[in-house]
């Protein structure tokens, strides 16, 4: 009895090892540039997305979230947790994986690790925004916070914005050293700093990517001079901010998705009607990004589901076109859909 | 540089082939009985579950759903689509997979195919309900609808309720033949019928599991005699019903979860305040199930997320204790969580 459908489509599977292999083959900078291309395509068709609120299951020690999003072509969701106490037992605070599906058939196409991929898409998002918001002659990037995201940010800005000098600061000297070691072979001048005040000296772009979950003031208004672009990505949930409110009031603020950023972004400190610009309008040319060399611009980034969608779409096209990858046999396909029992009783191959 | 955490927990992975292997080794009837045990445990602690509405992404040709649920120990979600036009291109209308996670750490534990598993858990749910609702001396089961679910239902009832005679009917004679062939080697008397009126003769339990998406009247009140239990599982979404309203009014109706069944179940035909009993109360002993041999009972089943949770929990315990299975390396675990870039640059094993 032929109960197995030979057309049974499998799911492409990107393990952590496979992500490492692809990344090292392509190069982190080119991988990020690839995602940027997909991000610009997807932000440009912003209205076609069904932008649902994330689903969150809270427990005493953490949260498990599902972040779904889709348009008329593809659907994706990311599974991501947040359990600060995990580090005490040698586990990660945050791990993530995601699925990309074909809307036309409802079939999943790709299952991918997203712990590394989220860092890549976050850097890709930052650099895409900076293309529209930073001065074209930007040469110096200051990084406040040398954690998990820092090297990806640095590499993206070196490659796509022509950054020649990177200034590093973290409250933990070990983190600065780690970041320096990961970047030292790149074609960039690296300056190690001992305070936030020092690191922002002469910076054209200031990236804040600190991890403390509190309303911190990492960057005050008096530290930021005219013409600077601030890439603020560490303040990304209620009660977690990095910028002084006065700085936000003084600058032009650009965001991903207003309903989400009002709750999660640095602008949670401002009134509900404070002026902001959603970046898809800038990308589409409907609104201005930077308009003068004196303007202070801020990208108040929180991470939005479309960015996961773009990243998964990029990886899927990559493995469909160039890279071989494992296939998961996760979808039962009886040749006669009504004979599922017959399929269940077929000997496994 | 040691960037890979050797404690990196992998995810147990149940492919379709692995599900086939486990099922054939354990036996369908014992597998279903195993799920019943987990279902009773989980229904008994009903209030401890965070019962969220499912997330649904609708498109012109179908729907993609995520069904999350969790208590303080485990979290699960099922991905399931519904695309009727898929059959025309040799694909399945419905495919499903699911994930079980540890709430304490947020880490996923199991990724499993759920096309076959959903059929098993649906049969397990039906037979668990019938334990409380059918007459103890039930010997004859009538099956109206011989589709994908039929054999699983039949095997569950033969094994757990002592059914000796199965009467089969479907509008398509090929479906009856398929069901007969799949059941003929079981220790049960099988009667093939040519109409719904014929198949219900002398039945103690009537199972309706038809597939037509419309408000059909598969079973009318005059076809059902005193003392019968009706296991109605085909009517499971708005606009899809199987029972005559008069029959529902005449019987005692038992359901899974009232907010969902009012929308999806056969009781969508009745007023919002029609009397129903949620089964967790019966399982806990707070409410009566069957109280007399004359009573007509109906389980108006629509399929609820807790049942997926129980099924995934059963499979996870099975593979943790007895069965070997593949592991997915889906979770990046840098030994220094702030050195994610270092992990990304580590050579894959």
Q: How confident is the model at residue A267 (pLDDT cuts 50, 70, 90)?
A: very high
Which of the four pLDDT bands, split at 50, 70 and 90, describes residue A5? very low
- State yes or no: pLDDT of B342 exceeds 50: yes
Q: Of residues A60 and B194, which shows the higher confidence score?
A: B194
- Nearest-CB residue to B17 (from A16, A149, A348): A348
What's the Cα-to-Cα distance from B286 to each of A63, A183, A280, rounded to whole Å? 33, 65, 55
Is A6's pLDDT higher than 50?
no
Q: What are A236's two structure tokens? A: 């990304």
Q: What is the pLDDT of residue A166?
A: 98
| Chains A, B: CB pairs < 8 Å | 257
Which chain B residues touch A93 with a CB distance below 8 Å?
337
Q: For A337, which of B77, B92, B182 is closest by C-beta distance?
A: B92
CB of B97 closer than 8 Å to CB of B113: yes
Q: Do A50 and B63 touch (CB under 8 A)?
A: no
Q: How confident is the model at residue B4 (pLDDT cuts 50, 70, 90)?
A: very low
- Cβ–Cβ of A91/B347 closer than 8 Å? no
Q: Do B333 and A95 touch (CB under 8 A)?
A: yes
In the predicted structure, residue B2 carries a pLDDT above the cut 60: no
Name the residue in chain A with its Cα closest to that of B175: A338
Is residue B151 predicted with pLDDT exceeding 70? yes
pLDDT at residue number A235: 77
**Superfamily covering domain B11-116+306-344:** ornithine cyclodeaminase, domain 1 (3.30.1780.10)
Per-residue confidence band for A196, with pLDDT thresholds at 50, 70 and 90 = very high
Average pLDDT over all residues of chain B: 93
Q: What is the pLDDT of residues A119-158, one digit of tens each?
A: 999 999 999 999 999 999 999 999 999 999 999 999 999 9
- Residues of A within 8 A of B51 (CB-CB) are none
pLDDT band at A332 (very low <50, low <70, confident <90, very high): confident
A53 vs B33, residue with greater confidence: B33
pLDDT at A83 over 60: yes
Least confident range from A320-329, B107-116, B186-195, B252-261: namely A320-329
Segment A103-111 shows an average pLDDT of 96
Residue A29: pLDDT over 90 = yes
In chain A, where the domains are located: 11-116+306-339, 134-303
Chain B closest CA to A315's CA: distance in Å? Answer: 15
Q: What is the mean pLDDT of chain A?
A: 93
- The partner residue sitting opposite B106, judged by closest CB among A81, A101, A329, is A81
Least reliable range by pLDDT among A242-246, B215-219, B290-294: B215-219
Q: Which residues does B188 contact at the CB level (< 8 Å), separation at least 6?
A: B154, B158, B163, B164, B165, B166
Q: Which residues of A are catalytic?
A: 236
Kind plus residue range of the DSSP H or E element containing B166: strand B165-169
Mean pLDDT on A25-45: 97
Looking at residue B240, its pLDDT comes to 87
> Using 50, 70 and 90 to split pLDDT, how confident is the model at A336?
confident
Contacts of B107 in chain A (CB under 8 A): 81, 91, 95
Q: Average pLDDT in the A177-190 region? A: 97
Closest Cα in chain A, distance from residue B250 (Å) = 32
What pLDDT score was predicted for residue A349? 58
The C-alpha atoms of residue A84 and residue A213 are separated, in whole angstroms, by 10
Chain A residue numbers touching B17 (CB-CB < 8 A): 329, 348-349
Specify the fold of B132-303.
Rossmann fold (3.40.50)
pLDDT value for B5 = 42
Mean pLDDT of A158-178: 97
Q: Which CATH number fits domain A134-303: 3.40.50.720, 3.40.50.10420, 3.40.50.980, 3.30.420.40?
A: 3.40.50.720
pLDDT at A3 > cutoff 50: no
Burial B163-177 (b: 16+ CB within 10 A, else e): bebbbbbbeeeebbe
How many whole angstroms separate alpha carbon B113 and alpha carbon A201? 55
Does the pLDDT of residue A240 top 90, yes or no? no
Q: Looking at residue A8, what is its pLDDT?
A: 56
Summarised one tens digit per residue, pLDDT across range B271-315 is 999 999 999 999 999 999 999 999 999 999 999 999 999 999 999
Report the percentage of chain A scoring pLDDT > 90: 82
Angle at B109 between CA B106 and CA B114, to 5 degrees: 120
State the CB neighbour count (10 A cutoff) for residue B277: 18
Give the pLDDT confidence score for residue B7 in this predicted structure.
47
Place domain A11-116+306-339 in its CATH homologous superfamily. Answer: ornithine cyclodeaminase, domain 1 (3.30.1780.10)
Nearest CA-CA distance, residue B104 and chain A, Å: 7
What pLDDT, in 10s, does the model give residues B13-64? 999 999 999 999 999 999 999 999 999 999 999 999 998 778 889 998 899 9
Active site residue B236: yes
List C-alpha distances in Å: A118 to A83, A123, A218.
17, 9, 23
Query: Residue B73: its chain A contacts at CB < 8 A?
Result: none
Overall size of chain A counted in residues: 349
Window from A54-68, A100-114, B266-280 with minimum mean pLDDT: A54-68
Q: Is the dihedral of CA A186, A187, A191, A196 positive or negative?
A: negative
Helices (H), B162-288: 173-183, 196-199, 245-250, 258-264, 279-283
């Amino acid at each position: 009895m032929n109960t197995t459908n030979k057309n049974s489509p499998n799911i492409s599977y990107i393990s952590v090892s496979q992500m490492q292999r692809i990344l090292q083959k392509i190069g982190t900078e080119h991988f990020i540039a690839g995602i940027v291309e997909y991000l610009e395509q997807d932000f440009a068709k912003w209205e076609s997305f069904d932008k649902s609120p994330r689903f969150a299951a809270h427990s005493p020690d953490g949260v498990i979230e599902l972040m779904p999003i889709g348009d008329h072509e593809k659907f994706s969701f990311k599974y991501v947790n947040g359990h600060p106490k995990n580090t005490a037992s040698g586990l990660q605070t945050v791990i993530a994986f995601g699925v990309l599906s074909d809307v036309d058939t409802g079939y999943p196409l790709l299952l991918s690790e997203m712990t590394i991929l989220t860092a890549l898409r976050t850097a890709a998002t930052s650099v895409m925004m900076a293309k529209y918001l930073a001065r074209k002659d930007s040469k110096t990037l200051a990084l406040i916070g040398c954690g998990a995201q820092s090297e990806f940010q640095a590499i993206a800005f070196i490659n796509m914005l022509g950054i020649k000098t990177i200034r590093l600061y973290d409250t933990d000297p070990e983190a600065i050293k780690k970041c320096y070691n990961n970047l030292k072979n790149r074609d960039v001048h690296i300056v190690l700093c001992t305070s936030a005040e020092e690191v922002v000296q002469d910076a054209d772009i200031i990236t804040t990517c600190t991890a403390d979950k509190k309303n911190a003031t990492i960057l005050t208004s008096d530290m930021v001079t005219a013409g600077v672009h601030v890439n603020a990505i560490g303040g990304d949930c209620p009660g977690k901010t990095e910028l002084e409110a006065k700085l936000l009031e003084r600058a032009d603020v650009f965001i991903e998705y207003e309903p989400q950023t009002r709750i999660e972004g640095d602008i949670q400190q401002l009134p509900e009607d404070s002026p902001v610009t959603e970046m898809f309008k800038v990308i589409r040319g409907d609104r201005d990004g930077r308009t003068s060399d004196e303007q202070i611009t801020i990208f108040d980034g929180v991470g939005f589901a479309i960015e996961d969608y773009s990243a998964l779409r990029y990886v899927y096209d990559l493995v469909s076109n160039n890279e071989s990858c494992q296939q998961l046999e996760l979808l039962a396909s009886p040749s006669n859909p009504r004979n599922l029992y017959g399929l269940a009783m077929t000997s496994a191959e």
